[in-house]
Structure 1
């Protein structure tokens, strides 16, 4: 089973924007308190984990549905899911970590890191890759297609730009895979190894990665499509170092909700990035977008100049759906992970947000 194609992903991401602005509909989760959330999620046959926290206090953390077809194969709060495109914020953090270490700058161009970059792409900057303003296309193949670095770069560099460099927001998985390669070239480490040493370990995220964590057999959820069990993500066509470049660094990292809470706390506590770099990380660098009010570095940004500033990002395949919302000024974190393609993930996050902000 291949993951969702580019068009479906963009439709899903557009749905996020729609749910942020639309009024309640029959599909909305109406939350008066966390008990009503629990009842609603069970009524919807939701499959996954929902975690809500404020600062160091977990307000809600429950699991629903099945992670596999074994007799006792139910999701629990420690189940590992595919975070899909939430991976991008980790790639962005890796780039900024290298900038903190004076190993690169976001104003560097592609031609500094790659040979034979064609004229129309040689001046694309890391900043433009981070903000989806490079003009590069979304993707060049299936997420689980075998592809070498040479083949990947040849196809990317030979592709036509879909907009002038730096002028428009066009969501690009290709751009984030290039960022992953830049991380490897600058750090002289494999992408996941760099994230593990610089982000996951300092944040105590011991259950996040591609292949480094010692996953137990029943720890990672199988994906479900129309109630039919499919593979675990790490049972797909991966290399020894995780996914090939059509997916690597733009998606596919595996995690559990508690690890994402630790990541949120690391951001707000400046554990991995210092205060100035965190501000740069969560700054609205590009607008308008067709998804969020504006885009930072791997994050959508809403209400930037408000006490209710929101940084968020979702992800989806045809087997998994994810969303993380953080209100950094309020210390609120909302995490929804599902092992189904479930558009209500975004609605759930929004309604939890509405309930909390109304308190």
Structure 2
């Protein structure tokens, strides 16, 4: 009997010592399928098939009244046209990542970790005096005075990121000036105050809860999986691929259209944030002369139809660009991930193609 117990214990120990799979290894989807519903779904599909001829490659989800009428990939993930884009194909989110940072900030506030009204002097004992009265809110709505310079992209640790940012000159506080750096610093504060890494915080509080199975950070994504990851239009020097805070918080999350849709649905059905927090996320906290309302990585505008649109988008110089466009009053959502950069008249595909889908749905000539 004693020997049997020892053997059983030994087996358990051996099992626990087996190498665990990498948390970000590619996980195939059981629901990686195309959806094209009759009627409007087929009309949108026909439009997007024509867009392939002018250079479009990407994946799209369109939902109407909470029903997905289209989920499909278009074009190719590589210039050799050897692999088609599928719903599971992964892309870089670019600045749509900022909206996720905004969500995680409000998750931290809901948990009582800090308030968005808290100043840096309250959250970091090493904060220099001239940064002291900047709040988390200021950084998320781009009124902190931080510039959009990218010198700190090389910072691989939280401490180095914060130290480099604190050395940057500040502009006038209260004036809108788009700044990725405010999001890097916000993410660093989340990590510092929560006591776990920013990546862990994102996985536990968003990725897992929203069932985002193939969403990773820039430096973790399996780009070598040739039929799973959309290629860049240009290559980066190896040093540019090292983990850093710009890639964590302002532009560096990778995902696919299935995960992007589950994120959007979880968010807008209050599975991640309560109503008060969701309203704070979307804003607007201020409105620019252009009419764009500023939220936490999200924006609001009024359509030509007089209805409200809430959106988040981003684009990178290497071709990947993305958009979430939610026509709230009309209960329509258009989600798009692409790697083809600018097409047709020189606009990023997330804009030009989603505009055509919008015009088709709402019959705008």
* TM-score range relative to shorter protein: 0.7 to 0.9
Give 1 or 2 for the bigger CA radius of gyration.
2
Retained in 1: the 8 A contact 2:103–2:281? yes
Deviations along 1:145-173, one digit per CA (max 9) or x if unpaired, are: 354434332332122213x212x111111
CA spacing shift, 1:36–1:213, aligned 2, 3 Å: closer
User: Does residue 159 of structure 1 match 2:134?
Assistant: no
How many angstroms apart in 1 are the aligned matches of 2:295 and 2:52? 35
CA spacing shift, 1:150–1:195, aligned 2, 3 Å: closer
How many angstroms apart in 1 are the aligned matches of 2:165 and 2:152? 14
Q: Which residue of 2 aligns with 1:334?
A: 334
Say which of 145, 158, 162 aligns to 1:149: 158
Superposition deviation, residue 59 in structure 1: 1.9
CA spacing shift, 1:294–1:134, aligned 2, 3 Å: same
Superposition deviation, residue 70 in structure 1: 6.9
How many angstroms apart in 1 are the aligned matches of 2:79 and 2:361? 35
SS in 1 for 2:138: helix
Could you tell me the TM-score, scaled by structure 2's length? 0.78
User: Does residue 108 of structure 1 match 2:115?
Assistant: no
Which runs of 5 or more structure 2 residues have no equivalent in the other structure? 1-40, 343-347
The CA RMSD over aligned residues, in Å, is 2.8
How many angstroms apart in 2 are the aligned matches of 1:236 and 1:83? 21
Retained in 1: the 8 A contact 2:283–2:299? no
User: Does residue 171 of structure 1 match 2:170?
Assistant: no
Q: Which residue of 2 aligns with 1:248?
A: 248
Deviations along 1:50-86, one digit per CA (max 9) or x if unpaired, are: 2211244222233223223677422212100000111
Q: Which residue of 2 aligns with 1:300?
A: 299
SS in 2 for 1:182: helix
Superposition deviation, residue 32 in structure 1: 11
Q: Which residue of 1 aligns with 2:191?
A: 184
Say which of 118, 126, 133 aligns to 2:136: 126
Deviations along 1:194-223, one digit per CA (max 9) or x if unpaired, are: 111111111111111216777882322221
Q: Which residue of 2 aligns with 1:208?
A: 215
Which runs of 5 or more structure 1 residues have no equivalent in the other structure? 1-30
CA spacing shift, 1:146–1:278, aligned 2, 3 Å: closer
Deviations along 1:223-260, one digit per CA (max 9) or x if unpaired, are: 124xxxx36x9x77444xxx302332111100001111
Retained in 2: the 8 A contact 1:257–1:337? yes
User: Does residue 92 of structure 1 match 2:102?
Assistant: yes
CA spacing shift, 1:35–1:152, aligned 2, 3 Å: closer
Q: Which residue of 2 aligns with 1:348?
A: 353
Would you say how many aligned residue pairs link Structure 1 and Structure 2?
A: 315
State the structure with bigger RCO (CA 8 A, min sep 6), 1 or 2. Answer: 1
User: Does residue 223 of structure 1 match 2:222?
Assistant: no
